């Protein structure tokens, strides 16, 4: 056996050996190998955040977030189990009632990772009482609409604006059930920031919070990303 071959290390994911590269997390290694682990707040362009817990797996029998736990030789990782999928379904149900996620009226339908993951997990209708929080829509910007009612607090827009765009347009404020997305301007309005439609933060949202104006339904329902392929098929076929 060559030195290169002998250097390959692997862990077990749902009973199958999966090779990983030094420094990779379980989720990174799985995605690169076209193996689907449900997730919402993780994005390959940014460091792991670990806030949504949808990617929770069991590592040698103990719970951990696949996006933050480093891959290591000999790990026994369970992901696609009845127990873990039931846990994910509960988290998704809580997210759906915590904000306003009425998919038939949302421009993001078919391109929404929350919606696609709910379909993947077989989530039924609302299991908990809806909160219906009072989060106003911000239509002040000439090119961008903000619907805070759909925010799942993934912080991807916060990180994209800070780390890619260098603008710090967004932040997370509040505590507990009152945690919410903020616009970093004295008025709290997006129009009073330097945000531009070309910013990475304008396209990173996995749900329907940040939307371009005057482009609604340019791609018809039924022809969108997750209409064509389920989220697991996207990963298994395309590695994305």
Largest CA distance in the chain: 65
Lowest mean pLDDT segment, chosen from 18-27, 40-49, 97-106, 189-198:
97-106
| Cα–Cα distance measured from residue 199 to residue 3, given in angstroms and rounded to the nearest whole number | 45
CATH of the domain at 132: 3.30.70.20
Residue 129 located in a structural domain:
yes
The residues with which 58 forms a beta bridge, in sequence order, are 63, 78
Measured CA to CA, the distance from residue 240 to residue 226 in angstroms comes to: 12
Task: Quickly state the pLDDT bin for 157 (edges 50, 70, 90).
Answer: very high
212 to 140, 200, 227: CA distances (angstroms) = 12, 13, 20
Higher pLDDT, 131 or 52: 52
> What order of strands is seen across the sheet that includes strand 9-13?
16-20, 9-13, 76-78, 56-59, 62-65
Query: Do 55 and 167 fall into the same domain?
Result: no
**Average pLDDT, rounded, for the chain:** 93
Same domain for 19 and 126?
no
CATH code where residue 47 lies: 3.10.20.740
Q: For residues 148 and 48, state if they share a domain.
A: no
Do 195 and 118 share a structural domain?
yes
Do 231 and 116 touch, CB atoms closer than 8 A?
A: yes
pLDDT value for 131: 82
Are 151 and 204 members of one domain?
yes
Looking at the structure, do residues 102 and 211 belong to the same domain, yes or no? Answer: yes
Q: Which residues of 202-218 are buried (b: 16+ CB within 10 A; e: fewer)?
A: bebbbbbbbbeeeeeee
Domain that holds residue 67: 10-80
**Average pLDDT score over residue span 33-58:** 95
**Residues of the chain with pLDDT > 70: what percent?**
97
Q: How many Cα atoms occupy the beta-carbon half-sphere of 93 within 13 Å?
A: 15
Quote the Cα angle for 161-134-166, to 5°. 5
Closest CA to 136 of 154, 150, 122, 118: 150
Query: Do 19 and 95 have their domain in common?
Result: no
The total of other beta-carbon atoms located within 10 Å of residue 66's CB is 27
The answer to whether position 186 is within a domain reads yes
Q: Supply φ then ψ for residue 113, to 5 degrees.
A: -70, -35
- Give the tokens for residue 125: 């209708």
225 in any annotated domain? no
Mean pLDDT across 201-212? 97
For residues 202 and 212, the answer to whether their CB atoms sit within 8 Å is yes
Confidence of residue 7 (pLDDT cuts 50, 70, 90): low
In a domain, 227, yes or no: no
Going by pLDDT thresholds of 50, 70 and 90, the confidence category of residue 5 is very low
The last residue of a domain, from among 34, 58, 80: 80
Element (H, E) at 119: helix 113-121
Note the pLDDT of residue 119: 96
On whether residue 148 sits in a domain, the answer given is yes
What are the tens digits of pLDDT across the range 66-92?
A: 999 999 999 999 999 999 999 999 999
- If asked whether residues 71 and 95 sit together in one domain, one would say no
Give the pLDDT confidence score for residue 2 in this predicted structure. 44
92 and 210 co-located in one domain: yes
In the prediction, which pLDDT does 128 show?
A: 86
112 and 208 co-located in one domain: yes
1 occurs within a structural domain = no
Q: Looking at 121-135, 143-157, 201-215, which range is the least confident one?
A: 121-135
**Domain total of the chain:** 2
Q: Is the domain of 146 the same as that of 43?
A: no
- Shared domain for 199 and 105, answered yes or no, is yes
**Confidence label for 136 from pLDDT (cuts 50, 70 and 90):** confident
Q: Considering the domain boundaries, does residue 3 fall inside one?
A: no
Residue 1 has pLDDT above 60, yes or no: no
pTM comes to: 0.93
């Amino acid at each position: 056996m060559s030195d290169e071959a002998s250097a390959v290390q692997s862990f077990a994911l749902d009973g199958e050996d999966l090779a990983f590269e030094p420094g990779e997390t379980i989720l990174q290694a799985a995605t690169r190998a076209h193996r689907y682990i449900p997730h919402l707040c993780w994005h390959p362009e940014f460091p792991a955040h670990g806030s949504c817990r949808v990617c929770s797996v069991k590592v040698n029998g103990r719970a951990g977030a696949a996006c933050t736990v480093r891959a290591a030789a000999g790990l026994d990782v369970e992901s696609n189990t009845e127990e873990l999928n039931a846990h994910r379904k509960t988290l998704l149900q809580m997210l759906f009632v915590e904000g306003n996620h009425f998919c038939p009226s949302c421009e993001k339908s078919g391109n929404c990772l929350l919606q696609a993951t709910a379909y993947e997990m077989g989530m039924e209708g609302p299991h908990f009482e809806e909160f219906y929080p009072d989060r106003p829509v911000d239509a002040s910007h000439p090119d961008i609409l903000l619907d805070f009612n759909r925010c799942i607090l993934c912080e991807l827009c916060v990180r994209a604006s800070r780390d890619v765009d260098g603008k710090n347009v967004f932040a997370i404020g509040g505590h507990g059930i009152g945690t919410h997305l903020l616009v970093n301007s004295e008025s709290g309005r997006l129009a009073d920031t330097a945000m531009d439609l070309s910013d990475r933060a304008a396209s990173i949202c996995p749900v329907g919070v940040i939307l371009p104006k005057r482009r609604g339904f340019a791609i018809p329902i039924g022809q969108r990303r997750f209409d064509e392929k389920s989220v697991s098929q996207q990963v298994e076929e395309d590695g994305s």
